[in-house]
């Protein structure tokens, strides 16, 4: 088993131990596409991450961490999503709503000693994340870690991940 798969197994255990009972939400990696399925008919909400990618799990968790109670009652949080092939205007809109989730993903990546990658999520257009977007995500990360705290569920997970993946509990803020 490769190190990323082992880390993902640990993340699933950490997440489910924290949130399956308290938030009625579980993490399940291995899906072809990421998806959030709201709780229904006695079944817990499920965060499906793509294949066995640790980064995909962190990204989907980040969206869950900022979704309010009403959003968590909707499949995929009821979010707007335009698939790859977005126009330049749609890409700007996409980046605007991705700042906070990607900053949370980055914070969780730091807690897990895992490399963070910005996601423009528009590979078919050959579009990389803009410098404006990268700067906004970095500034939000700094705000979360030095100023305002992470959202409550993200903070709880961040702290637990530090104890599991980062034994010295040291997180150094990266530079853009």
- Establish if 173 belongs to a structural domain: no
Structural domain total, the chain: 1
Containing structural domain, residue 24: 3-165
- Establish if 174 belongs to a structural domain: no
- Establish if 170 belongs to a structural domain: no
Query: What is the rounded average pLDDT for all residues in the chain?
Result: 87
- Establish if 49 belongs to a structural domain: yes
Whole-number pLDDT of residue 124: 47
pLDDT digits 0-9 by tens, 37-94? 999 999 999 999 998 899 999 999 999 999 999 999 999 998 766 566 667 777 667 7
Q: Which residues contact 169 (CB under 8 A, 6 or more apart)?
A: 162, 163
pLDDT, mean of residues 141-154:
92
Cβ proximity of 62 and 104 under 8 Å: yes
Q: What CA–CA distance (Å, rounded) separates 99 from 105? A: 10
pTM for the model stands at 0.90
- Establish if 114 belongs to a structural domain: yes
Percent share of the chain, pLDDT over 90: 65
- Establish if 171 belongs to a structural domain: no
pLDDT, mean of residues 31-35:
92
- Establish if 158 belongs to a structural domain: yes
Q: How confident is the model at residue 8 (pLDDT cuts 50, 70, 90)?
A: very high
- Establish if 172 belongs to a structural domain: no
CA-angle at 111, arms to 103 and 171, nearest 5°: 90
């Amino acid at each position: 088993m490769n190190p990323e798969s082992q880390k993902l197994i640990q993340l699933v255990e950490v997440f489910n131990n924290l949130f399956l009972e308290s938030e009625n939400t579980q993490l399940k990696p291995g899906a072809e596409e990421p998806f959030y399925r709201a709780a229904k008919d006695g079944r817990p909400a499920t965060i499906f991450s793509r294949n066995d990618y640790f980064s995909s799990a962190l990204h989907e968790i980040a969206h869950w961490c900022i979704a309010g109670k009403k959003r968590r009652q909707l499949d995929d949080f009821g979010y707007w999503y335009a698939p790859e092939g977005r126009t330049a205007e749609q890409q700007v809109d996409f980046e605007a709503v991705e700042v906070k989730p990607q900053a949370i993903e980055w914070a969780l990546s730091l807690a897990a000693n895992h490399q963070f990658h910005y996601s423009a999520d528009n590979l078919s257009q050959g579009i990389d994340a803009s410098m404006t977007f990268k700067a906004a995500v970095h500034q939000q990360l700094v705000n979360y870690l030095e100023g305002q705290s992470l959202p409550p569920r993200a903070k709880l997970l961040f702290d637990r991940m530090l104890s599991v993946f980062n034994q010295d509990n040291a997180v150094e803020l990266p530079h853009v």
